[in-house]
Amino acid sequence: MKRTFIIIAVLSLIMSFTFNMGAQEKKAVRKVITFDNTPVKRPYSPAIEVNGTLYVSGQIAIDQLTGKLIEGKIEDQTRQVLKNLKNVIEKAGYTMDNVARCTVLLSDIAFYPTVNKIYMDFFPKDPPARMAFAVKDLPMGALIEIDATAVK
C-alpha cells in the first residue's frame, strides 16, 4: 500500500512538472512586414516583428515608386531615409515615438550636423538611443543609411 502511494506521488509530481513545462514553453511568433508594391526583390524584409519588438532594416534614400536612389544632397537623402523608415514603422502599426534605438551610418562624418538637424524633425521629443558613425561605403553609393528598433 505504502509503496503504491509513493509511486503514485512520484508519478504525479513528474506529470505536474511536465505539464508546467509545456505551459511555459512559449514559441516566439515572428511577423514579417512587407509592402506589396516593392519593385525589386531583395534578400531581406523591410521589418520583422517578434516579442513586441520591431526590427527595421537599414533604409537608404530609395524612392519607393522607382526603386532607385533619389537625386539630391545629404539633406534630401536624410529626409527620404527618415520618411522610408517612418513608412515601415507605421505599416507595422508602430509610431516614431516607439523607436528605442537607431543606427546612423554616414558616408562622411562631416554630414553629422546637417543630418542631426533633419533627424530632430522626426524625433522631436525624447529621441531614441543612437549610434552614429562614418562608414567606408554604403549600397548604391548612398550618403546615409539608418536602421531602427521599435518597442511597443
Q: Does 127 bind other proteins (CB under 8 A)?
A: yes
Residues 40, 44, 47, 49, Cα dihedral to 10°: 140
Which CB sits closer to other proteins, 19 or 112?
112
What number of chain residues touch other proteins (CB under 8 A)? 28
Q: Which stretch binds other proteins (CB under 8 A): 20-28, 31-39, 42-50, 128-136?
A: 128-136
Which CB sits closer to other proteins, 35 or 133?
133
Which CB sits closer to other proteins, 70 or 138?
138
Q: Does 22 bind other proteins (CB under 8 A)?
A: no
Rounded Cα distance between 51 and 37, Å, is: 27
Q: Can you give the three-state secondary structure of 10-67, one letter per residue?
A: HHHHHHHHHHHHHHHCCCCCEEEECCCCCCCCCCCCCEEEECCEEEEEEECCECCCCC
Q: Does 30 bind other proteins (CB under 8 A)?
A: no
Q: Does 79 bind other proteins (CB under 8 A)?
A: no
Q: Does 29 bind other proteins (CB under 8 A)?
A: no
Which CB sits closer to other proteins, 31 or 68?
31
Find where cell 512559449 sits: 26
* Residues in a beta bridge with 56: 47, 148
The crossing angle, in degrees rounded to 10, of helices 74-91 and 112-122 is 30
List 119, 139, 145, 146, residue binding other proteins (CB under 8 A): 119
Q: Does 50 bind other proteins (CB under 8 A)?
A: no
